[in-house]
Structure 1
Amino acid sequence: MKILMVLTSHDQLGETGRKTGFWLEEFAAPYFVSRDAGVELTLASPKGGQPPIDPKSGEPGN
């Protein structure tokens, strides 16, 4: 089985200037479960390159 995971390219919340990106846990949990099950994963972003990580995704309680 093959899965294509598409992560955001947006690093700013609209016109607010606030930083955003993909939430690390929302990516990591299904990624590792799928990988451990032997699924072939391909990662992509609409603009290509490294997708931005939401700055709050690594802080507990946010």
Structure 2
Amino acid sequence: MSNITISLPEDSLLKLKEMAAGLGTTPEELLRASIEDILGRPEEFQETLDYVLRKNEELYRRLA
């Protein structure tokens, strides 16, 4: 198994820890399960990504 390191804002890390504790698991296990879920549904993820990009297209254009 390989490792990956990510940086999170402190408030996001706190929320992640609270959510994991509420589910009776660790933050690492919660993230691993979330990633496996996303990887298991690439079409749905891509559809959602496309929707968000289309919905915010004008905003992104203005910010560019």
Fold-level match, TM-score > 0.5? no
Larger radius of gyration: 2
Q: TM-score normalized by structure 1?
A: 0.28
Higher strand proportion, which one? 1
Q: TM-score normalized by structure 2?
A: 0.27
Structure with bigger RCO (C-alpha 8 Å, 6+ apart): 1
